Amino acid sequence: MVEKHHAILTKAVQALHARTFYAAFPEHPAPAVYGETADADGQARFKSWLGKKFDELHQPNPEKWAGQEESPYLQEPLGVAYPLFSVDTLVQRSEAAFHQWRKVSVDDRAEILLESLERVKKRFFEIAYATMHTTGQGYMMAFQASGPHAADRALEAIAAGYEELNRFPAQALWDKPMGKFNIQLNKEWRAVPKGISVVIGCSTFPTWNSVTGVYGSLITGNSVIVKPHPGAILPVAIFVAEIQHVLVEKKLDPAICQLAVDTFDQMITQPLAEHPNVKLIDFTGNSTFGSYLEALPGKVVFTEKTGVNSVILDSVEDIDKVAANLAFSVNLYSGQMCTAPQNFYVPRAGVKTPAGQVSFEEFAEKFVAQLNSLIDNPKAGPFVLGAVQNKKTCDRVIEAEKLPGKVWLKSRTFENPMFPKARVATPVVVEIDSSKKDVFSRELFGPIVLLIKTKDSEESLALAQEMAMHHGAISCGAYTTDAMLREKIADTMALAATPVSFNLTGGIYMNQNAAFSDFHVTGGNPSGNASFTNPEYVTKRFTWVGHREPVKG
């Protein structure tokens, strides 16, 4: 491995164990010197793909070229065409490539994967624009989430895999004293990859949610087929292309990592997942399909499905700061993050503050005011909210106004000065009584907030736990100044395998999940069985097999 990559890998392994990234990489968040023209160049490069074939992939002889991506900002097709292949072709090529890749040493695999990340780094702006115009994310989020933050999670998976693969010795002498003599065996252990890995992407975070699985499977020696959502292909296509470029330079089969594009009218996800040669599946998406995948026999499946994320409001230092923080969390990418809060549990007696009780109604008013203030700020609103990826989300938001309770805020549209045709929807806020459990026992994807009026914080916590245990949860926000209650929330939500962000105010939000620090999805509740990136996330991608033979006398 070249020295530069070895140094990065060593630091990454340290960060993995310290659970903090910036101690190991202090230089990372400093304004990266991407170059003064990087943004403009990236945008130009993105635009150069529009209406063209994405011809960077080393995947010859496609059956046809197609692509159905549309920009949520322009509400018109991107016109990028990708090579399409039959499931059989993809699997045959992957199978052949697997037997080459599994014999590449762990160090060489790491070297190749780290080099691909170096190259992707030069395309962060291109990826950012590709992400904006497929997912509807605002520019800053599109840059960070699809670029550096996705690359961090990929690096985390490489580091985790590298460490697990080196956890046990390749050989050992087993020397058993038997009294008069010793029995001596030479033993050796091989980390045997599972085979073909299929990574199924989602429409909202096409790289962040997928590259961990891609790099996790590759470092452990599996060949990978990346099956992006038909609505968000280009961002991850660039990652795949860069991996393939490095593979080709190293004289390896580029089919070690293939892109498997399909179209809405002819989806290949199911036949691909069910193919007997496919052994590993990574999936981000809806619960129905995720649960179907989890139940497929003979596969190792990693899912991130849906959840019902809660906010528990008990007592606060500064109610306005809290309302502002939560309003940002809800507005951010118009509530289209898997970590966005939905169920706000507020005691009917209100929220305790140093200045006295803030009533339920006062909190609702403050929260709505903060939402509006951000939406109506032309310098912030359009960039924070972005656009809505899927029209169905807009329908759902409108539908939410009919929920049985007072509508504190109706969804509306706003002017995006750069993209007048953008598909937008601001949050809807509805008050629901805690007795109406059926209303809030499911994910309402999009900018939908339910202010659930509870008897007290005990009930709030019980409901938050119950929702997480039975319907899944990926995040939870809790506000309390009571140390006893804080520990009770920490313990109760931990039993529901839900990470809690306590008392967040200012520039940090419950939706944000940091590589090398926050395990993303814990695998312990119905929101998914995978966790970025705990040891299981990589150890399940290979099998330890030990052979032995007597030492020759």
Binding site for its own copies (CB under 8 A): 17-23, 26, 29-31, 164, 167-169, 172-179, 183, 185, 187-190, 192, 194, 295, 297, 490, 493-495, 497-508, 514, 517-519, 522-524, 531, 534-536, 539-540, 543-550
Query: Mapping DSSP to helix (H, G, I), strand (E, B) and coil, where does residue 226 land?
Result: strand
Nearer to its own copies, 73 or 328 (CB): 328
Nearer to its own copies, 168 or 377 (CB): 168
Nearer to its own copies, 3 or 549 (CB): 549
Distances in Å between the Cα of 31 and the Cα atoms of 27, 39, 80, 126, 154 are 9, 13, 31, 18, 20
State in angstroms the smallest separation of the CB of 6 from its own copies: 22
Nearer to its own copies, 7 or 183 (CB): 183
State in angstroms the smallest separation of the CB of 491 from its own copies: 8
Nearer to its own copies, 109 or 299 (CB): 299
In angstroms, rounded to a whole number, what is the distance separating the alpha carbons of residues 480 and 498?
Answer: 17
Sequence-separated (6 or more) residues with CB below 8 Å from residue 301: 280, 281, 282, 283, 293, 294, 529
Write b or e for each residue in 40-63: b if 16 or more Cβ atoms lie within 10 A of its Cβ, otherwise e: ebbeebbeebeeeebeebbbeebe
In angstroms, rounded to a whole number, what is the distance separating the alpha carbons of residues 408 and 270?
Answer: 42
State in angstroms the smallest separation of the CB of 189 from its own copies: 7
State in angstroms the smallest separation of the CB of 476 from its own copies: 9
Query: Mapping DSSP to helix (H, G, I), strand (E, B) and coil, where does residue 216 land?
Result: helix
Adjacent-strand bridge partners of 452: 345, 432
Sequence-separated (6 or more) residues with CB below 8 Å from residue 164: 191, 220, 535, 538, 539
State in angstroms the smallest separation of the CB of 186 from its own copies: 9
Q: Where are the alpha helices (DSSP H) in 376-456?
A: 381-385, 391-400, 437-440
Judged on CB neighbours under 10 Å (0-12, 13-18, 19+), 110 is: buried
State in angstroms the smallest separation of the CB of 470 from its own copies: 10
Residue in the block written with tokens 């499905």: 305
Distances in Å between the Cα of 12 and the Cα atoms of 17, 219, 552 are 9, 14, 41
Nearer to its own copies, 86 or 544 (CB): 544
Shortest CA distance to 82 belongs to which of 202, 200, 222, 241? Answer: 241
Adjacent-strand bridge partners of 225: 198, 258
State in angstroms the smallest separation of the CB of 497 from its own copies: 5
In angstroms, rounded to a whole number, what is the distance separating the alpha carbons of residues 404 and 359?
Answer: 21
Nearer to its own copies, 232 or 468 (CB): 468
State in angstroms the smallest separation of the CB of 164 from its own copies: 7
Nearer to its own copies, 15 or 236 (CB): 15
State in angstroms the smallest separation of the CB of 195 from its own copies: 9
Nearer to its own copies, 167 or 348 (CB): 167
Sign of torsion, CA 451 490 473 141? positive
Nearer to its own copies, 134 or 525 (CB): 525
State in angstroms the smallest separation of the CB of 205 from its own copies: 20
Sequence-separated (6 or more) residues with CB below 8 Å from residue 201: 209, 210, 226, 227, 228, 229, 232, 236, 284
Q: Where are the alpha helices (DSSP H) in 136-204?
A: 139-146, 148-165
